[in-house]
Amino acid sequence: MIEVVFVARHGETEWNRLGRRQGQLDSPLTEDGLAQARQVAAVVSGLPVDGVFSSPLGRATATAGLCAEKLGMSVTIVEELAEVNHGQMAGLTSSEIEREFPGEMTRRAVDKYEWCFPGGESYAEVDRRSAVALWRIATYGVLRPLLVSHEMIGRMLLRNLLQVDPEVALTWDHPHDVIYRVDVASRVLSRVP
């Protein structure tokens, strides 16, 4: 049974810097993103991690690979750890979204959990997917896994682990250089210094 889960986000990407929504598209890590990933890996090397699991997207696997190398482990890809599918909005900036989908982001704000990206996913769907990801990871028999994923699905991973309301989880941010620790039995969330 999993005791502790460490959740990390990939380093900054070119599209993060440009304000483009990536979703399940990908862009490479920036120099800052590589530095963030190396910093996360350095911190992870001192943690009692017994398995490294990653989203299949390149920005996450690049970050997870650095972590696994420091730990002397390999990376296990879990498809369900992929970021929220942004559908037709993937690759667009906020101003491009407003031009192509007028008023849609205002509608999203009314019910962020159930609202669905056109041609993509809702947080509610990703919430269910994140529960499947956690179940899959538990089948590996690990006690203290590191999950390397993305900000949006990361909210739902933490929501499932902590059993909090979705509205609470949707307010959380996950900076690129932060590792969260969840003590599963006590449902306590902390940042790893």
Contact 129, 99 (CB under 8 A): no
Residues 135-154: tens digit of each pLDDT: 999 999 999 999 999 999 99
pLDDT band at 1 (very low <50, low <70, confident <90, very high): confident
What are 111-127's pLDDT values in tens digits? 999 999 999 999 999 99
> What residues act catalytically?
10, 83
Q: Report the Cα 42 to chain-centroid distance in Å.
A: 19
Give the tens place of pLDDT for each residue, 36-65.
999 999 999 999 999 999 999 999 999 999
CA pair distance 185, 4, nearest whole angstrom: 8
Full-prediction pTM beyond 0.75?
yes
